[in-house]
A and B are shown apart, each in its own frame.
Chain A
Amino acid sequence: MKNPSVDTHLLPADSGTIGTEPLLAVDNLHVEFTTRQGVARAVNGVSYALNAGETLAVLGESGSGKSVTAQAIMGILDMPPARIPKGQIRFRGTDLLQLSEAQRSQIRGQQIAMIFQDALSALNPVFTVGWQIAEMFRVHKGMSKKAAYAKAVELMDRVRIPAAKQRVNDYPHQFSGGMRQRIMIAMSIALDPEVLIADEPTTALDVTVQAQIMELLAELQRESNMGLILITHDLGVVADVADKIAVMYGGRIVENAPVHDIYGNAAHPYTKGLLESIPRVDMKGQELYAIKGLPPNLLDMPTGCAFHPRCPFRQDDCVTDVPALHEISGTRSSACHYWREVLDGTAG
């Protein structure tokens, strides 16, 4: 399906997959940024797939490329300085990177929507929240002002904002952090998207509010069978809601696994280190396991495996050869030369 004139808006919306093609597939994606200091390779060959009704957690630290990948899917990267030299992003089999800007903006918001981390800066402070939610219906559906407002109230009810009718004319600053995030969610689900990307949706929130928001997202997902990409660095949130996990490091996926397989059973030293560095009850009073060193500099990536300077199991070939993503089973893979040893605990 290379034909850019295909109107993806008219593609069938009933089934989760077309043949064996997943709902959304990122394939060998590369993204680089031209900066004054040189070219920063933020994403170096990322591939993942998402089916309808599924939750994929993309786990990684700042600079691992997790948000840049999401922005590439949404088509909201500033180009330049960003450039996508290689790769495909297929939505229902159509490569989004081959579409014109007009075609992409048809998909953006309607079929693939995004929730941002900081709701206060993502909302416009000078318009009422009702106006901002209603904008989705006016712009994409050509609804009248009045009808769009009615829809906005309905949506605010759906994301459980109390007294939606009275609050629809309030401004973002009049809402608490959790309520603002609900408004962001209302905007993103307004047009019933098939894929929802949530970029650190609860990082700025308290745990009690985080629990409310995660519950709301799970419920909305059940109702509409959306595919959800959850970008986060919180291993707890991932364990709670994800079906499968992609761990990113230095712009690559280092491990792919179903959520029940990875905890306590990591096949990549980075994942293993992350899991071991969480304070546990039985570790009280002992020194925490800490991954030594610092995340890599994107302008000057280490040779071979990007994790080798910090890896406790490093061998000589890790410094020279970039490890491929080895398949462990049908659903698991690890980008480590020594995944077998890491998995059965004999590495190092």
Chain B
Amino acid sequence: MAPQGDPILEVRDLVKHFPLTQGIVMKRQIGAIKAVDGVSFDLRRGETLGVVGESGCGKSTLAKLLMALEKPTSGSVKVNGELVDVHKGSNLKRFRRNIQMVMQDPYTSLNPRMTVGDIIGEPYEIHTEVAPKGDRRKKVQDLLEVVGLNPDHINRYPHQFSGGQRQRIGIARGLALQPEIIICDEPVSALDVSIQAQVINLLERLQTEFGLAYIFIAHDLSVVRHISDRVAVMYLGKIVEIGKDTQIYDKPSHPYTQALLSAVPVPNPEGRESRERIILQGDPPSPANPPSGCRFRTRCWKAQEICAVEEPLLQIRPGTDHESACHFAEAHDVVHAS
């Protein structure tokens, strides 16, 4: 389904700083972990936005902020044009119905002492208006069928299912309240290779069927490319490049995106000796004390004086057709070049 219409989700300058404190009696704030530091994007109905980046870049904190599981330090989230107020219960409850999450680890995200029927039906306990009590069992069975599980297994426990089946249960729980947006935080990374494709196909089918919008957070760049309409690349709490999937993968213009793409092993041994590889040295700097100016400059081979002084804004730059946050942005195809 092609993404259409007005944005369903508008995120503006979202910031989350976790305070670092010192002392027990006299607690003082001595700094902050800048987990998410000014993130803005739009998501339209039926669209999939892929979010990629290394661990610690703020992908999962972003997911929690969008779910209103964390209160943002500043910035705003609008759903269907309406501002989400994390301090107002009724507003929050309505909003949460519309945005659901599929977690990474299907082994720890399902309560082992609840039956599958109770797990999937639990959202109805809070949002009673979605399904009246008598209807619930039927609804849960329908959901099981939608995600490709046997509806007769409604009284089984999570341990009786395999990893891929458990992820399907997690997806059914996400669908229970008929949300418009689903946030998938690494939904296939804990699964075996032969099972990953099954779950990706299921997510794509559900998108077409229900017109869902996905935020798809993953570190596997080939999976993200397959499922996403647009891709955002994050580094140390900021989006450094965002664009259509073809723009990001074929014409990456930020050095970090280029390095990330070139580091992905290609499942084809032909020409492996001549393939271009940009190997970044070291680890990302600490988000408690990010470098001045451009945050990537400490690992960047293009860095010049201006990079330490002036922070590059996320904007369309000469010679590129999508937004990137680099003073020296330059489209360069690293995947196909040889």
Contacts and interface: CB of A to CB of B under 8 A. Distances in A.
B221 A207 contact: yes
A147 to B, nearest CB: 30
A95 B165 CA distance: 42
A283 B222 CA distance: 11
Interface in A206-257: 206-212, 214-215, 233-240, 242
B200 A236 contact: no
B266 A210 contact: no
A237 B265 contact: yes
Which of A279, A291, A292 lies at the interface centre, i.e. has the most chain B CB atoms within 10 A of its CB? A279
B283 A176 contact: yes
Given A61-B192, A207-B260, A240 B198 contact: no
Interface stretch (B9-17, B132-140, B268-276): B268-276
A195 to B, nearest CB: 23
A279 B277 contact: no
B270 A281 contact: no
A311 to B, nearest CB: 12
B197 interface: yes
A342 interface: no
A291 B267 contact: no
Contacts of A238: 267
Contacts of A278: 193, 222, 267
Contact of A239 (B196, B201, B265): B265
Which of B194, B200, B249 lies at the interface centre, i.e. has the most chain A CB atoms within 10 A of its CB? B194
A259 interface: yes
Given A283-B226, A290-B198, A290-B201, A263 B162 contact: no
Contact of A212 (B55, B195, B279): B279
Nearest to A293: B194
Contacts of A61: 192-194
A239 B271 CA distance: 10
Interface in A283-306: 283-284, 287-292, 294-295
A260 B269 contact: yes
A277 interface: yes
Which of B195, B197, B223, B282 lies at the interface centre, i.e. has the most chain A CB atoms within 10 A of its CB? B197
B194 A274 contact: yes
Interface in B154-197: 162, 164-165, 192-197
Contacts of B280: 208, 211-212
A19 interface: no
B122 interface: no
A113 interface: no
B194 A215 contact: no
A236 B266 contact: yes
B282 A162 contact: yes
B263 A236 contact: no
B219 interface: yes
A315 interface: no
Given A207-B260, A209-B283, A275 B267 contact: yes
A172 interface: no
Interface residues of A, number: 47
Nearest to B272: A240
B259 interface: yes
A25 B226 CA distance: 40
A259 B201 CA distance: 29
B283 A290 contact: no
A208 B162 CA distance: 31
Interface in A45-86: 61-62
B292 to A, nearest CB: 21
A210 B280 CA distance: 10
Given A206-B54, A209-B283, A215-B279, A289 B197 contact: yes
Contact of A240 (B222, B225, B265): B265
A240 B264 CA distance: 10
B194 A263 contact: no
A290 B265 contact: no
B225 A295 contact: no
Interface in B300-326: none
B204 interface: yes
A274 B193 contact: yes
Interface of B: 54-55, 162, 164-165, 192-198, 200-201, 204, 219, 221-223, 225-227, 245, 249, 259-260, 263-270, 272, 277, 279-283
Given A209-B54, A295-B192, 16 more contacts: A61-B192, A61-B194, A162-B282, A210-B263, A235-B193, A235-B267, A236-B266, A259-B269, A260-B269, A273-B194, A278-B222, A279-B223, A281-B225, A287-B204, A288-B201, A291-B194
Interface of A: 61-62, 162, 176-179, 206-212, 214-215, 233-240, 242, 259-260, 263-264, 273-275, 277-281, 283-284, 287-292, 294-295
30 contacts: A61-B192, A61-B193, A62-B192, A207-B260, A208-B54, A208-B280, A209-B54, A211-B263, A211-B279, A212-B281, A234-B265, A236-B266, A236-B267, A237-B265, A239-B266, A259-B269, A263-B267, A273-B194, A274-B193, A274-B194, A277-B196, A279-B200, A279-B226, A281-B249, A284-B245, A287-B204, A288-B200, A291-B197, A292-B198, A295-B162
